[in-house]
Amino acid sequence: MVEYRVAERRDNIDLVWSISELSSLFERRTNIDDFLQAVVDRIAEHLESDVCSVYLLDEAEGRLVLRATRGLDPGSVGTVSLMLGEGITGTAVKELRPIREARGNRNPLYKFIPGTNEERYQSFLAVPIRRGLSRIGAIVVQHQKQDQFTSHDTRALQAIAGQLASTLENVEMIMELHNRRAPLLPAQRGAAEQIACQCAAEGIAVGRVVHLGGGDDAIEPNHDDEDQETAFRRALERTDRQLEALHRELDERLADIASLIFGTHLLMLRDEEFSGLMVDGIRNGSRAHVAVRTIVDRYVEMLSASTNPRTREKTQDIRDLGSRLLRNLRPEQEDGGDLRGRVVLAHELFPSDLVRISAEHAEGIILTGGGATAHITILARSLEIPTVYLRAHDDGNLSDGDMVAVDAYEGVIHRDPSPALLERFERARELHRVDDTVRGEGPAFTRDGVAVELLANVNILHDVEVASRVGAAGIGLYRSEFPFLVRNDFPSEIEQLGIYRRIAERAPEGPLVFRTLDIGGDKLFSESEHSEANPFLGLRGIRFSLAHRDLFDEQLRAMLRAGVGRDLRIMFPMVASVEEFIVARSRVVAMQKELEAERIEHHRSPLLGVMIELPSAVELASDFARVTDFMSIGSNDLVMYLLAVDRANERVEQLYQPVHPAVLRAFSRIVDAGREHGCPVSICGEAGGDPQVLRFLIGIGLRSISADPARIPGIRTTIGQIDSHDVARLASELLSVSTTDDVLQRLGSM
């Protein structure tokens, strides 16, 4: 009876604590304290506990502060605190593990706090709230009866903590601002030009330039004769509606990465101190736009000075919110997306910035930081936002309001384009648009009938839909790090499960290859405390996962659970040795046993493979072929490491050559090793979509290509023009030459 009741209660929690329910719970609260109180009330009700409390970590003090409770003395809120490692709760957070006690007051770790009235309660369960390796706080539930909580309750509370983490991290940031005592309001004070660029994500963009987080001085204030407080409150309400609409739309379009993207904006907007200081400034005589700018600037200054790197990263959120409030102070401002008809100019972007820009329907992006990192380039392609970048320290003399036409195919920005040029650009858009009516189905065939499997590389859910439209036979690479990069943190197992399930449910029938986390190199968290002097040669790929087993295990569990009923394959990136693969494989087996013991449905026989993208892996290709179920050539990194060329470095980017003889010979060795040992080999880097390289790959016997979905129709067409015997002879010739010029000359003769 007890187990039945617990299982029924857990089901209720799963229903209540969906991401959408959590968002709506926040939407109904006007301030942070109300939200946290609603959280503990909801947990207590559905877990049937006498007490539920939320503690948040003050990193500067190293203390866990009681922020909300149901069941303890309300006067304890804000006054009771524990050091990390102090008491059961402090130990749970310090060691990042749940602690469940049948009789909490008998645990040697138990810390009695006078005045809280918790001495009446025996059962004790503390679960840390964390984002990956970062501590945020804890949820604690207690009950008067002993031994009331079970392992099912622990797992359910861990799921809730994971879903709460993003929102509570933003609450942590606002708490830090509230704790600062510096004054926030000072005294009141009275013919078309062509610009060369580099292409990151192809497309055509036409619109007026707007600086990301800048250009607010150009925004005209509200009319002089209008009551300033009335104008401000109207802007506040309009901003709230816009953010709610954007949040809903983003969740519909990009459900896998949308969760709580606008969380900081909404929290700050509804924080009574943030908006209240602006009202105070207006009542003291400031114009509304002056009060908004003043408070936003001061908050940005305080956030930038924070010792918490996650808090520092919120400065762009505050700037964005300030810009939106200023725009909404204009009486004529309409509700809706702000960036329609605009091309965004930015020095640098976080992945979360890129997602927000997509949600606001920007036409395109111009980056001025001297290059686009790999994850920004890949994500921009997935979001179908034309993106270019200018050389370092060059902004092309572009100003807010300039009319531009961005050709992200040829690498040209046209300032003040003529009507004739705009008409030509519109025709170019039509020409480059993927025509779903001529898509193929199943494998591609060479002219002489040799079949080549075409799979899709997937970064976000939108890519899966495109992959289905263009007839991909399955998913050859799902880059699982993108939800991590967009969130700039580590989603919980439950959050990952939701993302992976959506991918699995919508993916074409056929192989479904999940690659485990590839963090490092140019795919790093911004402002990360894990940053390294040389990240390309540091803790990245499988090294990162094996160094953080708890995160790796959570990801593997989520993948195994999401892959039920599919041809699931799990691939490990940046593997340098057979030993690394063996250890990674052992973690998969361990997680299968763990899920089996918990009676959680999961995939029982996934295929396990490796990315071949390091010189050491090329040397060990035959050894890998004997112990793995499949191999995939990661050509992007393999070319970089073989040639010692950073593809994002504009000074040497011309040396990045996928047709370099050493690269072609490495490709051939890998394919030969797979053929010799019966181990399937595919390629999932950009080289597979290059028509010249593709001829060589078919010639050496590669029969599986995984590429960006938008490139699949072109690859299918190229393969249809190839005769396998002709390209086999060509490949043999290319393997015998020793210079890149000779390779290009022979390819050109084809």
- 497-519: pLDDT as tens digits: 988 999 999 999 999 999 999 87
d(CA 562, CA 570): 12
Which carries the bigger pLDDT value, residue 308 or residue 550?
550
Predicted confidence at residue 186, as pLDDT, reads 41
Lowest mean pLDDT among 222-226, 443-447, 628-632: 222-226
Catalytic center residues: 375, 684
For range 599-604, the mean pLDDT: 96
> What class has domain 444-748?
alpha beta
**How does residue 372 score in pLDDT terms, banded at 50, 70 and 90?**
low
Q: What pLDDT is stored for residue 540 in this prediction?
A: 84
**Model confidence at 8: pLDDT above 90:** no
Which residue has tokens 């449905």?
Answer: 601
The closest of 373, 313, 370 to 535, measured between CA atoms, is: 373
Whether the Cβ atoms of residue 342 and residue 404 lie closer than 8 Å to each other: no
374-382 mean pLDDT: 76
Rounded-to-integer distance, Cα 562 and Cα 505, Å? 9
**What is the Cα–Cα distance from 326 to 320, expressed in whole angstroms?**
10
CA 73, 74, 78, 79 dihedral sign is negative
For the entire predicted model, the pTM comes to: 0.71
Q: Which of 271, 283, 299 is closest to 184 using CA atoms?
A: 299
State the pLDDT at residue 292.
93
| Cα distance between residue 174 and residue 159, in whole Å | 24
- φ, ψ dihedrals at 517, nearest 5°: -55, 130
Helix (H/G/I), strand (E/B), else coil: 507: coil
pLDDT at 654: 81
DSSP result, 97-146: --EEESSGGGSTT----TTS-GGG--EEEEEEEEETTEEEEEEEEEESST
For residues 390, 656, 611, 447, the Cα torsion angle rounded to the nearest 10 degrees is 100
Which is more confidently placed, 552 or 253?
A: 552
Tokens of 459: 């970064």
The more confidently predicted of residues 4 and 109 is 109
pLDDT band at 259 (very low <50, low <70, confident <90, very high): low
Q: Tell me the DSSP string of 243-301.
A: HHHHHHHHHHH-TTT-TTTTHHHHHHHT-HHHHHHHHHHHHTT--HHHHHHHHHHHHHH
Average pLDDT of the chain is 82
Give tens-digit pLDDT for 121-159.
999 999 999 877 778 899 999 999 998 888 888 888 888
Band (pLDDT 50/70/90 cuts) for residue 310 is low
Residue 77 has pLDDT above 50, yes or no: yes
Which pLDDT does position 463 carry in this prediction?
86
Which one is predicted more confidently, 240 or 371?
240
At the second CATH level, the architecture of 19-176 is 2-Layer Sandwich (3.30)
What is the average pLDDT across 162-188?
Answer: 57
**Domain 194-215+226-431 sits in which CATH superfamily?**
PtsI, HPr-binding domain (1.10.274.10)
Beta strand 403-407 pairing with 204-211: antiparallel
Domain boundaries, the chain: 19-176, 194-215+226-431, 444-748
Q: Which residue in the block uniquely carries the two structure tokens 């911004």?
A: 526
**pLDDT tens digits along 206-216:** 999 988 755 45
Geometric angle at alpha carbon 273, from 93 and 327, rounded to 5°: 115
